[in-house]
Amino acid sequence: MQEEPYVMVGGDGQYSYAKNSNLQRVGADHAKTLIIEAITENLDIDENVSCPNSNIFGIADLGCSVGPNTYVSMKNIIEAVVQKYKSKGRNLPEFQVFFNDHVSNDFNTLFANLPADRQYFGAGVPGSFYHRLFPKASLKFVYSAYALHWLFRAPPEVGDLDSASCNRGRLYYRNATKEVGQAYSAQFEKDMESFLSARAEELAPGGLMAILMSGRKDGTLPRQSSIGPQDLPLESSLLDLVNEGIISKDKMDSFNLPIYGPSAEEIKAIVVKNEHFDIVRLITLTSNSSLMPTVRRGV
């Protein structure tokens, strides 16, 4: 099955991600204290034989887009790690930050605006985070913000005109049938399993992974998703185009956005089943229903 990659608008013009990512920035600001706490309390910085060069502290931001949020998050993470090393009386490592996103992401804009005073060596890593991206045990900290709600692809059955689960007249599973919601949930489980298995190879034992993502409250159904309302104007515009005969009804019915907002319970069940990570925290930010699971690679 082919992946369906959608990237953010590049450059720094009026409609660029760089100028339209304040909501994500607010989420990352809320998560800052939580990340610092997780690093202080749960990051294992003891010398580790399985990490080839323990003087290099590798950090990856998966789905970093074009900035500027990634610069702020990387700075916050490094400051917290430096504090941890200092508090343990350890010599500081050298930091290497890997900025990952889809191949078609505007890496030029990302690189052009890297902060001049950065305390790390930066590198771009193109490719989907649903596959392996890094050598074994080469990372100590993995971060990903507002990227994992992008599925590998929309579940095929919701776009299949012959299927009972076809998501007719909708772009998305909000307010859709139970079957459509379940198909999205199953796709998320499958994708998250691929994501966790790849990261289990790449994260050094004792390393941490902090994920910030859109989600929904425990005890609610997928169809009650809090993400989606912002896509309703697009959905109704497309339906107008169908009614005016400009696009075909079949095209509209078979198209679906590959986005999913899980509940904390769903994430917990997937991490437990995967067996490579311990959940050190699983926080729901009440302000915007964002979820923040932090997991630790088993030693």
Ligand X SMILES: C[S@@+](CC[C@H](N)C(=O)[O-])C[C@H]1O[C@@H](n2cnc3c(N)ncnc32)[C@H](O)[C@@H]1O
Give yes or no for residue 167 binding Mg ion (CB under 5 A): yes
As a residue count, the chain comes to 299
256 binds, among ligand X, Mg ion, none (CB under 5 to 8 A by kind): Mg ion
Q: What is the total count of residues that contact Mg ion (CB under 5 A)?
A: 3
Quick one: which segment of 65-73, 90-98, 110-118, 228-236 binds ligand X (CB under 6 A)? 65-73
Do 160 and 254 touch, CB atoms closer than 8 A?
yes
Q: How far apart are CA 172 and CA 227, in angstroms?
A: 10
Query: Which residue, 166 or 295, has its beta carbon nearer to ligand X?
Result: 295
Give yes or no for residue 145 binding ligand X (CB under 6 A): yes
| Closest residue by Cα to residue 68 from 120, 24, 6 | 24
Q: How far apart are CA 149 and CA 62, in angstroms?
A: 12
Give yes or no for residue 109 binding ligand X (CB under 6 A): no
Report the nearest approach of ligand X to the CB of residue 4 (Å).
Answer: 9
> In a 3-state reduction of DSSP, which class is residue 73?
helix
Chosen residue from 95, 98, 99, 130 binding ligand X by CB under 6 A = 130
- Which DSSP letter does residue 158 get? G
Do 57 and 100 touch, CB atoms closer than 8 A?
no
Give yes or no for residue 76 binding ligand X (CB under 6 A): no
Residues within window 255-274 making contact with ligand X, judged by CB under 6 A: none
Query: Which residue, 84 or 190, has its beta carbon nearer to ligand X?
Result: 190
Strand order in the sheet with 94-101: 121-126, 94-101, 56-62, 139-145, 203-214, 290-297, 277-285
Chosen residue from 43, 101, 155, 211 binding ligand X by CB under 6 A = 101
Residues forming the site for ligand X (CB under 6 A): 7-8, 21, 24, 28, 63-65, 69-70, 100-102, 105, 128-130, 145-147, 150
